[in-house]
Amino acid sequence: MKFEEYKISPEIIRSLAESGFKRPTDIQYKSIPPVLKGEDVLAIAQTGTGKTAAFAIPVLHVLHERKKIARRPDGIKCLVMVPTRELAIQITEVFDQLGKYTRIKTFGVYGGVEQAPQISRLETGFDILVATPGRMFDLVSQGHLKLHRVEILILDEADHMLDLGFIKDIQDLLKFLPRNRQTLFFSATINDKIKKLAYSLVNNAIRIQISPKDPVAKNIDHAVAFVEMDDKRFFLERLLNENPDSKVLVFVRTKIRAERVLKAMERANIKSQTIHGDKDQQDRLEVMTQFKKGEVRVLIATDVSARGIDIANVDFVVNYDLPEQVENYVHRVGRTGRGTQKGHAISFCSTEEKPILAEIENFLDKPIKIMEITKADYNETLDFTNDVNYDLKSLLREVDEFEKKKKSRKK
């Protein structure tokens, strides 16, 4: 089936064609019809399967057609709740891109930036609001944001919102919304906690579940390589040098680790950037733009950014550190192989991380393919590095000592 065969506004069909959308993915194929009918939807689908377009396309059509038929009172008609700033930006861009020929206006609000410009923009009037919980409630409590005309509520990446502790915020949100509304609930994973929240929000929902037995999309080739902790930087360097034209997203466990890997790549003459919670929003936006345009081909990120990186043509995801939360493995590797594209994911597993690997494989309900490395290949990787500073332990000691001195000065 092609998008032209749906009863969708010609303005949206035009933007879909210009954006390269030809045929719907599974989640889009199953979600668009019930959303167009006004039904509540509970959808579970892997990261990277096209969930955003699955709700953006029908919602844009519905609101655009309603706006053409009759002049309605001003106010936000659709609220999209998301867990992170990056995701809010990405989803706003999708709505803008697909709705550029319609009469629908979309705006995103999130923390990390000044409120005043957002308040000024809100006063101009918008149909769709994409928001993170914290900033949205700030604006509601201050009287700058009214939600009494919302007709459609969308919760995207609902599982991650629960992980971040937003369940009370979501429940409090209902006090500001009309009871008679359409609710769309999208999540990459499902468990009892998510089910309980979902069924408290939706009404006789159409349940859609895509590939529930395999959380990782079938077009992602993922494997694990057994590499000791102190040697990981050399293997990352080798992968980057052997794939000089590839766009690579590297995941680490902490902000400090991100900066250490950045320095290691700099010493190996490889340009890269980091994105994590210590960077202000403007820096994060600039880094994302550079990565998106290909000005920087290596981005080192923490899990806080995993759900907000919806960048086309990411060739490799590297789990430099295995994630502490097993579900994050799925979200990390899902940054590659998006839509119908092929992707590659490689995890570096040290001896001390093997218990985490076992948990991940248990979550996936099958083993991850092992990337065989011979002793000769392993030693060759260490011997041919461009990083002349081999003594990583000394470097880490220096950093730790520096941090201890900094703490003592604060005292």
Q: Residue 258: what pLDDT?
A: 92
389 band by pLDDT with thresholds 50, 70 and 90: low
The encoded tokens of residue 355 equal: 């218990």
206, 207, 287: which is closest to 249 by C-alpha?
287
Backbone angles phi, psi at 260, to 5 degrees: -65, -40
List helix spans (H) across 19-125. 26-36, 51-69, 85-98, 115-122
Supply the pTM of this predicted model: 0.69
Q: Give the domain 3-209 fold.
A: Rossmann fold (3.40.50)
Fold match, 3-209 / 220-397: yes
The encoded tokens of residue 253 equal: 């466990």
Domain range summary for the chain, segments of one domain joined by +? 3-209, 220-397
Count of Cβ atoms closer than 10 Å to residue 366 Cβ: 11
CATH 3.40.50.300 fits 220-397, yes or no: yes
8 Å CB contact between 65 and 133: no
Average pLDDT over residues 177-194: 87
Q: Residue 348: what pLDDT?
A: 97
The 3-state DSSP class for residue 19 equals coil
Measuring CA to CA, how many Å separate 270 from each of 40, 233, 286, 386?
Answer: 48, 12, 19, 10
8 Å CB contact between 302 and 220: no
Average pLDDT over residues 315-319: 96
Long-range contacts of 251-255 (CB under 8 A, 24+ apart): 251/300, 251/301, 251/302, 251/303, 251/306, 251/317, 251/318, 251/319, 251/320, 251/321, 251/323, 251/332, 252/300, 252/301, 252/302, 252/320, 252/321, 253/302, 253/303, 253/321, 253/323, 253/324, 254/302, 255/302
406 band by pLDDT with thresholds 50, 70 and 90: low
69 band by pLDDT with thresholds 50, 70 and 90: confident
pLDDT tens-digit map of 124-168: 889 999 999 888 988 998 989 989 999 999 999 887 787 767 788
